[in-house]
């Protein structure tokens, strides 16, 4: 059955294929045909054909315990990051920020009510949550998410937070609307965000916005640490100035990148 609200140019088969890929959630590496059909709402024959097609294309692999995604799926996300040019711009700045703070630093963007990590330079330390490119967390209890949510209009904010999280993590901080709005007003006023074990115990971080040439917030960058090792005072007094400088440098470089003409050169075959 066609999706409600889909236009005449909507390709239902493509949408169903993406739904099958998205059905593989954190903590569920392998899924049976029945699992996939139930998670996507597809009939078993349809789910089977899609899984076999994805297997033929190399995005899914069949195993004794069911179907699993292959590393080729990462190419879909990497293509997005590369198309943004964000990683190429941010990498040297993130590396300098890590060297200056001796803490892990990341860049994330909004995807519904979640943040998704788009770039990261990590320091080997004891942490309570594993983070890598593509990891998603509920946006509101993270410093990265607070920065991104604070940049939305009131209507955009309500629409965004109405979407259910796909991270599978239940955060420690569960604010009511008044507390949420007060927190985001403070982030807007000071231009950066702090979280202290609101996502999970032991996680403390600060974040600042990254902007494009028009001044729009397109992502956020953070410094992340373990609460038992790095006091809040160190984060705010020592690391925050470095973070704000890094955010400004990345934003400036990204704005300059936008002004460079992009040439597509085709070679004769």
Give the C-alpha separation, 144 to 148, whole Å. 6
Q: What is the pTM of this model?
A: 0.73
Residue 143: count other Cβ atoms within 10 Å of its Cβ.
30
Strands (E), 153-244: 193-196, 203-211, 217-226
DSSP state, residue 165: P
Strands (E), 81-216: 104-111, 114-121, 136-138, 193-196, 203-211
Given this model, what pLDDT does residue 5 score?
A: 57
Given this model, what pLDDT does residue 265 score?
A: 39
- Are 226 and 202 in contact by the 8 Å Cβ rule? The answer is yes
**Pairing verdict, β 114-121 and 104-111:** antiparallel
**Span 133-169, pLDDT tens digits:** 889 999 999 999 999 999 999 999 999 999 999 888 9
- Are 61 and 86 in contact by the 8 Å Cβ rule? The answer is no
Residue 98: count other Cβ atoms within 10 Å of its Cβ.
19
Task: Report the sign of the C-alpha dihedral through residues 145, 150, 80, 41, in that order.
Answer: positive
Given this model, what pLDDT does residue 89 score?
A: 82
DSSP state, residue 105: E
What does each of the 269 residues of the chain score in pLDDT, given as a tens digit?
556 656 788 899 999 999 999 898 777 778 999 999 999 999 999 999 999 999 999 999 998 889 999 878 877 766 665 666 677 788 899 999 999 999 999 999 999 999 999 899 998 876 667 888 889 999 999 999 999 999 999 999 999 999 999 888 999 999 999 999 999 999 999 999 999 999 999 999 999 999 988 899 999 999 999 999 999 999 999 999 999 999 999 999 888 776 655 444 344 43
Given this model, what pLDDT does residue 73 score?
A: 85
Given this model, what pLDDT does residue 259 score?
A: 64
Long-range interactions of 67-72: CB distance < 8 A, separation 24+:
67/30, 67/31, 67/32, 67/33, 67/36, 68/24, 68/29, 68/30, 68/31, 69/21, 69/24, 69/29
* Token pair listed for 196: 């202290």
Q: Which residues of 189-201 are buried (b: 16+ CB within 10 A; e: fewer)?
A: eeebbbbebbbbe
């Amino acid at each position: 059955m066609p999706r409600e609200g889909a236009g005449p140019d909507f390709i239902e088969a493509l949408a169903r294929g993406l739904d099958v890929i998205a059905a593989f959630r954190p903590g569920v590496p392998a899924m049976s045909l029945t699992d996939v059909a139930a998670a996507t709402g597809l009939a078993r024959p349809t789910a089977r054909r899609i899984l076999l097609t994805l297997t033929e294309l190399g995005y899914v692999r069949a195993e004794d315990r069911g179907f699993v995604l292959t590393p080729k799926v990462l190419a879909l996300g990497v293509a997005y990051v590369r198309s943004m040019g964000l990683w190429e711009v941010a990498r040297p700045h993130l590396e300098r920020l890590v060297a200056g703070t001796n803490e892990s630093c990341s860049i994330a963007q909004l995807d519904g009510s979640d943040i998704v990590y788009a770039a990261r330079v990590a320091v080997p330390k004891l942490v309570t949550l594993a983070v890598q490119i593509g990891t998603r967390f509920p946006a509101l209890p993270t410093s990265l998410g607070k920065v991104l949510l604070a940049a939305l209009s009131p209507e955009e904010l309500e629409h965004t937070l109405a979407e259910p999280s796909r991270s599978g993590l239940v955060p420690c901080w569960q604010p009511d609307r008044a507390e949420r709005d007060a927190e985001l007003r403070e982030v807007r006023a000071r231009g950066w965000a702090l979280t202290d074990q609101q996502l999970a115990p032991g996680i403390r971080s600060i974040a600042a916005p990254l902007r494009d040439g028009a001044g729009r917030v397109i992502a956020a960058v953070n410094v992340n640490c373990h609460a038992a090792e790095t006091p809040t005072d160190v984060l705010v007094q020592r690391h925050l100035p470095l973070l704000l400088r890094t955010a400004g440098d990345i934003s400036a470089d990204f704005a300059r990148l936008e002004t460079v003409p992009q040439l597509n050169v085709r070679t004769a075959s």
